[in-house]
Structure 1
Amino acid sequence: MLDVPTKDDRPAEFVEALAKGLSILESFGSDHPEMTLSEVARRVGLSPAAARRSLITLQAMGYVGQTNKRFHLRPKVMSLGSAFYFSARVDEVLQPELRQLVGTFGDASSVATLEGHDVLYIAHYSEQRARRPTAVVGARYPAHVTSLGRVLLAAQSDAEFNNYLRAVKPVALTAKTVVDKEELRRIVEEVRQQNFATTVDQLDYGITALAVPIRGSSGRTIAALNTSGYSGMTTAEDLVAHRLPALRASAARLAQTLSRYPVIESIIASR
């Protein structure tokens, strides 16, 4: 099942039908590009009848298609993501800093926020040619395997992070992925102290990354910014030694820019 608010966390005006439809849209991905009715129902945690009603509605609205009893997303779904992209003015506000970082160091740079137990990429720029997971806008990965996610987890209160550790089931995406919860606690505490995070081959082999927080006008971390390179060409220590000052400067400029656009800052804020 996907992450959905529990009944205790739902406001009085919570619309169950809308939540079901959005959960169904989120259930599709690279590992589930098409599904039968029963597969959708099982993945979202709905009865087949409830899943069918939502699918028929989404199909009528053009967000879902059906081929040989298997459902799939239709291109219209992209309009939902593009609405965020343009309302947050990602190309104008975030992309220039990412291009500057990549222009200076090569490789790739991203901005992400925290969504449940995952990081959600809201901006990305890359000159990399090597195979790696796609960090396109809208991509989601478990927070514990990314430098961005560890920075965002470190920004949580003790209570929030303890709740995260109790609920999360860390998955090993490589042989090097840290899945022990006490080790994750130690890593996050270290990130809190040094105000940056590094990862090596955690999300996939060949990815070494360094991330720092982007703070809003209140001083609270609202997103994270990273720079990444190929593990065969760089090390975490190299990134810290040669890129950390520039990365922090970029994060400070982004924070200053966002402070002039309170609405955009509110849109980007991770919680």
Structure 2
Amino acid sequence: MAPGQVIDISGQAADERPAEFVEALAKGIGILESFDATHPEMTLSEVARRVGLSPAAARRSLITLQTLGYVGQTERRFHLRPKVLTLGSALFFSAGIGEVLQPDLRELVEQFGDASSIGTLEGEDVIYVAHSSVQRARRATATIGARYPAYATSLGRVLLAGLDDAALDAYLAKVRPVALTSKTVIDVADLRQIILAVRADGYSTTVDQLDYGITALGVAIRGPDGRTVAALNSSGYTGMVTPEKLIEERLPTLLAAASRIGNAITRYPILQSVMGP
């Protein structure tokens, strides 16, 4: 998610929502999603502005979330409480993410050092669903649950390359890229050519696109029908590794790991549903 972006509480236009759509629930979830590393605590007016709600509507949702234990308050500022972690941990354990996905990531990190992640596409962003790392640098953190613009990550570009032409056109028509570093590609026409090249090559490399110091190589994890359901990457420090070095030394191992993970996912129906479109 790009800095300063207003949270879309529904993800759909009003006329596209099902009749059973609960607006109040969407508002509450939108408020939970509005807290992040750059907004760890906010006043009522800041929450309302970030989620695009009236102060009265934001207040009702915040009071409800506070009563349920998901939100706390210190003087005039609201913040998340640890109970929020139970929402994500339920998926982690019920879908077998730790059992199915983490072993290959740990092996990649043991072999190459650095870091390795798995992500899925959610709207315009990539969400990290599994991660292993030996790095301790201060940079954009790819922890489980982290969410970043797809156009600026190796995982995201692989996932975008896996879309059909209509879906890719729709994404490029909607996305408004923000320069996260001086090297971030924000021209939509250039992004299209990069994504098409990823589709042809079968892998993606990025250098300092999301944050300075990150050079990464990503490949697709495919379902039984051959469609891309997730992406796997291996990343290192810019300056210590190059895209060419990653391709030469890590691409075959990364492709083999992606194939194993894809086969493993088919044996876990819940995980297959989670990773599906």
Q: Shorter-normalised TM-score: what interval?
A: over 0.9
Q: Distance in 2 between matches of 1:162 and 1:47?
A: 33
1:129 CA displacement: 3.2
- Report the secondary structure of 1:204's partner residue: coil
1:105 counterpart residue number = 112
**CA 1:70–1:131: 2 relative to 1, 3 Å:** closer
Structure 2 residue corresponding to 1:141, chosen from 148, 152, 162: 148
**CA 1:207–1:7: 2 relative to 1, 3 Å:** same
Q: Distance in 2 between matches of 1:108 and 1:5?
A: 34
2:163 counterpart residue number = 156
Per-residue CA deviation, residues 89-136 of structure 1 (Å, 9 max, x unaligned), is 111000000011111111100000011111100000011233321111
Q: Distance in 1 between matches of 2:40 and 2:137?
A: 24
**TM-score, with normalisation over the residues of structure 1?**
0.97
Structure 2 residue corresponding to 1:176, chosen from 171, 183, 202: 183
Q: State whether structure 2 residue 43 is matched by structure 1 residue 36.
A: yes
- Report the secondary structure of 2:148's partner residue: strand
Contact 1:88–1:268 under 8 Å retained in 2: no
Contact 2:97–2:271 under 8 Å retained in 1: no
Q: How many residues align?
A: 270
Q: Distance in 2 between matches of 1:32 and 1:213?
A: 32
1:197 CA displacement: 0.4
Per-residue CA deviation, residues 48-98 of structure 1 (Å, 9 max, x unaligned), is 111111111000000001111111111110110111111121110000000
1:6 counterpart residue number = 13
Q: Which blocks of at least 5 consecutive residues in structure 2 are unaligned?
A: 1-5
User: Which one-letter code corresponds to 1:124 in the other structure?
Assistant: H
Q: State whether structure 2 residue 49 is matched by structure 1 residue 45.
A: no
**TM-score, with normalisation over the residues of structure 2?**
0.95
User: Which one-letter code corresponds to 1:110 in the other structure?
Assistant: S
1:224 CA displacement: 0.2
CA RMSD of aligned residues (A): 1.0
1:187 counterpart residue number = 194
Q: Distance in 2 between matches of 1:176 and 1:71?
A: 35
**CA 1:131–1:35: 2 relative to 1, 3 Å:** closer
Structure 2 residue corresponding to 1:68, chosen from 66, 75, 97: 75
User: Which one-letter code corresponds to 2:204 in the other structure?
Assistant: A
1:266 counterpart residue number = 273
Per-residue CA deviation, residues 15-55 of structure 1 (Å, 9 max, x unaligned), is 11111100000000111111111111111111111111111
Counterparts in 2 of 1:107-256, with a 5 A limit? 107-256=114-263
1:8 CA displacement: 2.9
User: Which one-letter code corresponds to 2:228 in the other structure?
Assistant: T
1:157 CA displacement: 1.4
User: Which one-letter code corresponds to 1:218 in the other structure?
Assistant: D
- Report the secondary structure of 1:65's partner residue: strand
